[in-house]
Amino acid sequence: MGHTGLRLSVLDQSPISEGFTGVEALRNTLDLARLTDDLGYHRYWVAEHHGTPMLACASPEVLIGPIASATSRIRVGSGGVMLPHYSPLKVAENFSMLAALAPGRIDLGLGRAAGTDPTTTFALQRDRRNAAPDDFPQQLAELLAYLGDRMPPAHPFARLTSTLPGRPDIPEPWMLGSSPQSGIWAAELGLPYAFADFISPAGVEIAARYRESFVASEWEAEPRVIVAVWVICADTDEEARRLASSSKMAFTLLQRGELLPVPTIERAERFLAEQGPRPPGLQRARRRITGSPTTVRAGIEAVAREYGADEVMIVTITWDHAARRRSYELVANAFGLDAAPHTDDDMAMSPLTAGSHR
């Protein structure tokens, strides 16, 4: 856990860099998972996004199995499964199988967002006669009833709870969110809560309300909060700011509805120079913790204090995969994480990533 008592974890969105493919992005994810497992990070979550040229993971449940197989200590999970797209039974079966194959290491992070645009959301639907209903609370209750074997006996699906293939192993469910409603649901259901500060910087009050209204459950006796933040760490503050230009450009364009792979630093710096300074009165800026190890450690500890969180999940997007690896290494060293002894072979980059991003 490191000498600060703060757990550090990874949220990987499997970024696709300009000039590279989704195949390389997914292999980079496996490579980063092996590295962060060795470095002593606590958990590794993969996100769900659809219909975008920038992020490669459309299916966390497909990626979690290979990550769990490639690692030995780190918890592995979804950050998250976007439940409105799916049958609760199917999600319960998928994660029951994963929990059986990697006992005690699988997390099921659940989100309400679509993770994409309305057209792609509709394309993901099995039945396209009508738009899908907004029944997330019912979906969530059904899913938790399967996992907890708590379906009311008179329910037509009651017998299905005993058929989950991975029993007695089950995943650890988490509620994900970036708005007040997710915190309310997490508190009512007694679930641990992961807040996406990198999406919405207004989560401190939401996390506080979650704690105040938390109801103990079979899942958690006490409220538990993870805060997920943007981080880019490099040897100097200046180098970290330079690396951050790629994601700044990508997300500036994303806010305008323009999707593109993660741009090179050179292209991003030109773009940002042309944009000029941020106009006053624009929506609240996203928090970015960018800098040298000393700067980043101070920033991460400050966010953890704000949220009262004992775990911080780090999201890092750079054009260069080697720079992303280096960022997680520097942060692990800054916090004194418990690195595993390893051989040179363990740390070798996969053939597709070695030397690919210079």
Question: Coil, helix or strand for 230?
Answer: strand
User: What was the pLDDT predicted at 284?
Assistant: 55
Residue with tokens 């469910």: 173
What does the alpha-carbon distance between residue 125 and residue 252 come to, in Å, rounded to a whole number?
29
Is the CB of residue 236 less than 8 Å from the CB of residue 290?
no
Closest by CA position to 56, among listed 358, 354, 261, 325:
261
Closest by CA position to 291, among listed 244, 249, 337:
244
> Does residue 80 have a cis bond before it (omega within 30 degrees)?
yes
Q: What are phi and psi of 172, to 5 degrees?
A: -90, 115
pLDDT tens-digit series, residues 270-317: 999 998 776 655 555 689 999 999 999 999 999 999 999 999 999 999
Distances (CA, A) of 325 to 10, 31, 169, 301, 314: 12, 9, 32, 21, 12
CB atoms within 10 A of CB 242: 18
Tokens of 121: 């959301």
Tokens of 43: 């958990």
Tokens of 169: 């192993």
Mean pLDDT of the chain: 91
The average pLDDT across 164-177 equals 96
The average pLDDT across 2-6 equals 66
The average pLDDT across 259-269 equals 96
User: What was the pLDDT predicted at 199?
Assistant: 92
User: What was the pLDDT predicted at 133?
Assistant: 82
Q: What angle do CA 29, 244, 108 make, to 5 degrees?
A: 35
Distances (CA, A) of 14 to 60, 125, 148, 351: 10, 24, 31, 17
User: What was the pLDDT predicted at 239?
Assistant: 98
What does the alpha-carbon distance between residue 112 and residue 223 come to, in Å, rounded to a whole number?
20
Least confident of 50-64, 130-144, 218-232, 300-314: 130-144
Question: Coil, helix or strand for 8?
Answer: strand
Using DSSP, how many helices (H) and how many strands (E) does the chain show?
Answer: 12, 9
pLDDT tens-digit series, residues 72-122: 999 999 999 999 999 999 999 999 999 999 999 999 999 998 778 888 888
What does the alpha-carbon distance between residue 183 and residue 194 come to, in Å, rounded to a whole number?
9
Question: Coil, helix or strand for 190?
Answer: coil
> Does the pLDDT at position 343 exceed 70?
no
What does the alpha-carbon distance between residue 127 and residue 141 come to, in Å, rounded to a whole number?
22
How many residues can be counted in the chain?
358
Residue 351 or 138, more confident: 138
User: What was the pLDDT predicted at 347?
Assistant: 39
Domains annotated on the chain, with CATH: 7-238+287-347 (3.20.20.30)
In sequence order, which residues have a C-beta less than 8 Å from that of residue 1 and are 6 or more positions away?
A: 7, 42, 337, 338
| Rounded CA Rg of the chain | 20
Question: Coil, helix or strand for 57?
Answer: coil
In sequence order, which residues have a C-beta less than 8 Å from that of residue 238 and are 6 or more positions away?
A: none
What does the alpha-carbon distance between residue 109 and residue 80 come to, in Å, rounded to a whole number?
5
Residue 201 or 150, more confident: 150
> Does the pLDDT at position 250 exceed 90?
yes
User: What was the pLDDT predicted at 350?
Assistant: 36
User: What was the pLDDT predicted at 279?
Assistant: 60
Least confident of 132-136, 264-268, 278-282: 278-282
Strand partners, 106: 76
Helix axes 265-275, 237-254, angle to 10 degrees: 70
Distances (CA, A) of 154 to 105, 150, 159, 176, 285: 33, 11, 10, 30, 50
